[in-house]
Amino acid sequence: MEQKIRVLIAKPGLDGHDRGAKIVARALRDAGMEVIYTGLHQTAEMIVEAAVQEDVDVIGLSLLSGAHMTLFTDVTRLLKQKNMQDILVVGGGIIPEDDVPVLKKAGISGVFGPGTQVETIVDFILKNVKK
Amino acid sequence: MSDLASQVLKGDPRSIARLITLAENNNPEFSKSMKKIHPHSGKAHVIGITGVMGSGKSTLIGELAIEYRKQGKTVGIIAIDPTSPFTGGALLGDRVRMMELATDDGVFIRSMGTRGMLGGLTSAVYDVVEILDASGKDVILVETVGVGQAEVDVIKIADTTLVVLVPGLGDSIQTFKAGIMEIADLYIVNKADRSGVNQTLAELESLIDISCSKDDRRIPILTTIAKEHKGTEEVIKAINDHKNFLKETNAFEKKRRNRYEAELVEIIRKRLMNFIFDESTFKEKIEKLLDKISKKQLDPYTAADEILGKILK
């Protein structure tokens, strides 16, 4: 048995700032994970459908436009509907501190703002991946 | 586990996805499911798409899938990207070019890392083709990694192989080399709006003129601009022509047989490797042998004999 952690990296919403998502994708790759990069402008439906087909252990969401409260939670709500809460969901971007507890309550287990070391994200995933 | 197989046969996406993961992870329980899957596979048309890195394979596949969907066919896509030989990680980015298909329930896309295989495919790809086939997909598109010249494993799995080229890859000598240029059932010159397209087409024509076209079938050359949705309808028509040709010449059965041969060999290889490598002491043992080989106290052949002793006896 040779299990690998599979991670979906997606950018919901309309902003085109994908540098952060790419850096995280690269770091997870270098940590030995299989990273499925889906690119910009993803809807919650697209993200969850990709997560189903790719049978991922983790979904990483990146958003810099400020719409995280709506779009991140759209994803976790859809996952809940489909009974897929065994997937670890993390998010990153420009996220005010006040929003973090709300997001965590909504199922975004890890929230990472600007200045986060990529090692922190890798460690968080390794420690919290559920499968 | 056998329940999973039944769900796959009904076409349930989550079960398909889970069974593929078990195949990729070499799960010991997996073969039980495949016993249930095998009788139901063999109906889909498997199309291999290969070509150099950046030739537009993913975009072309996305376009082909859209076209097949218009014709009412269901589509499975297997998109393979390289696994790092250093970290074991992989960045699988082919979905980016297939966004239009993301929420179409008649399409199932799976991205896979090569996980150590070198021929342009990945070890579990045979299983994944079987799974998607048995789940009821009419067409299965298999995208290889971006290839150099010698990664030709795709012909072991595909009924129809497309070699995707782009203008300006080199002079006519390149087209005469062995390897990837020998495996095409169909040549696609993508990005045909680029300069140099006429030269590329002329060189391909002369390659086909000189080499005996295999089985007396002249390999068609098609041009596409996948990004602008141009030429894909014609590609599908040519794929269907090839399918009919296979049927008329009874080559279809032979292709299937070849695929099962490759699959069987791969299963045996995997099991043998597991048998040899799963030992907890293996790493230690090999380090000791490497010490001796480095110090010229032992040659690699004798060392291999030592490791394989338990099988060869």
Domain count within chain A: 1
Nearest to A54 among B26, B27, B111 (CB): B111
- Inter-residue contact B30 to B157 (CB < 8 Å): no
Please give the biggest Cα pair distance in chain A.
43
- Whether B116 has its CB under 8 Å from any CB of chain A: the answer is no
> What is the reported pLDDT for B283?
76
One domain, residues B52 and B157: yes
Report residue A102's pLDDT band, with 50, 70 and 90 as the boundaries: very high
Among the listed residues B271, B266, B222, B268, the one whose alpha carbon sits nearest the alpha carbon of residue B242? B222
If you search the block for the tokens 């680029």, which residue do you land on?
B194
One domain, residues B226 and B90: yes
The per-residue pLDDT for range B24-49, each reduced to its tens digit, is: 998 888 989 999 999 999 999 999 99
- Whether B17 has its CB under 8 Å from any CB of chain A: the answer is yes
> What is the reported pLDDT for A119?
96
Nearest CA in chain B to A41: B99
Q: N- to C-terminal Cα distance for chain A?
A: 14
A50 vs B contacts (CB less than 8 Å): 95, 102, 109
Strands across the sheet containing B45-51: B107-113, B75-81, B139-143, B45-51, B160-165, B186-189, B221-223
Number of H-type helices and E-type strands within chain B? 11, 8
**Within a domain: A114:** yes
CATH number of the domain bearing residue B207: 3.40.50.300
> What is the reported pLDDT for A15?
87
Domain count within chain B: 2
> What is the reported pLDDT for B149?
73
- Inter-residue contact B290 to B283 (CB < 8 Å): no
Whether residue A79 has pLDDT greater than 90: yes
One domain, residues B127 and B182: yes
> What is the reported pLDDT for A124?
97
One domain, residues B181 and B111: yes
**Within a domain: A87:** yes
Within 10 angstroms of residue B54's Cβ, the number of other Cβ atoms is 9
- Residue A96: is it exposed, middle or buried by C-beta count within 10 angstroms (0-12/13-18/19+)? exposed
- Whether B79 has its CB under 8 Å from any CB of chain A: the answer is no
* CA distance, residue B62 to nearest chain A CA (Å): 14
One domain, residues B284 and B196: no
- Whether B12 has its CB under 8 Å from any CB of chain A: the answer is no
- Which of the 8 DSSP states describes residue B146? P
- Whether B7 has its CB under 8 Å from any CB of chain A: the answer is no
> What is the reported pLDDT for B151?
81
**Within a domain: A130:** no
**Within a domain: A52:** yes
**Within a domain: B5:** no
Residues 6+ apart with CB under 8 A from B170: none
A37 vs B contacts (CB less than 8 Å): 91-93, 95-96
Question: B300 lies in which domain range?
Answer: 279-312
Nearest CA in chain A to B105: A49
Q: Which helix (H) or strand (E) holds B233?
A: helix B232-248
The per-residue pLDDT for range B241-269, each reduced to its tens digit, is: 999 999 998 888 888 899 999 999 999 98
**Within a domain: A131:** no
**Within a domain: B155:** yes
Length of chain B: 313
One domain, residues B231 and B289: no
A31 vs B contacts (CB less than 8 Å): 87, 89
Residues A46, B84: C-beta atoms closer than 8 Å: no
What's the CA gap between B34 and A85, in Å, rounded?
28
pLDDT mean across residues, chain A: 94
Secondary structure of residue B143 in the 3-state scheme: strand
One domain, residues B172 and B300: no
What's the CA gap between B7 and B21, in Å, rounded?
15
- Residue B246: is it exposed, middle or buried by C-beta count within 10 angstroms (0-12/13-18/19+)? buried
**Within a domain: B161:** yes
> What is the reported pLDDT for A131?
63
**Within a domain: B49:** yes
Phi, psi (rounded to 5 degrees) for B220: -70, 150
* CA distance, residue A49 to nearest chain B CA (Å): 6
Residues A38, B18: C-beta atoms closer than 8 Å: no
Question: A108 lies in which domain range?
Answer: 6-123
One domain, residues B71 and B219: yes
One domain, residues B288 and B203: no
**Within a domain: B294:** yes
Residues A52, B14: C-beta atoms closer than 8 Å: yes
If you search the block for the tokens 């110090």, which residue do you land on?
B295
- Using 70 as the pLDDT threshold, list the residues of chain B that sit under it: 1-2, 170-178, 212-216, 278-281, 310-313
**Within a domain: A63:** yes
A6 vs B contacts (CB less than 8 Å): 21
**Within a domain: A1:** no
B109 vs A contacts (CB less than 8 Å): 50, 53-54
**Within a domain: B148:** yes
Whether residue A121 has pLDDT greater than 60: yes
One domain, residues B206 and B308: no
Long-range contacts of residues B100-106, Cβ cutoff 8 Å, at least 24 apart: B100/B62, B100/B66, B101/B62, B101/B65, B101/B66, B101/B69, B101/B75, B101/B77, B102/A38, B102/A42, B102/A45, B102/A46, B102/A49, B102/A50, B103/A43, B103/A45, B103/A46, B103/A49, B104/B69, B105/B13, B106/B69, B106/B73, B106/B74, B106/B75
Tell me how many degrees the CA angle B224-B230-B233 measures, rounded to the nearest 5: 90
Residues A31, B92: C-beta atoms closer than 8 Å: no
One domain, residues B129 and B182: yes
One domain, residues B137 and B220: yes
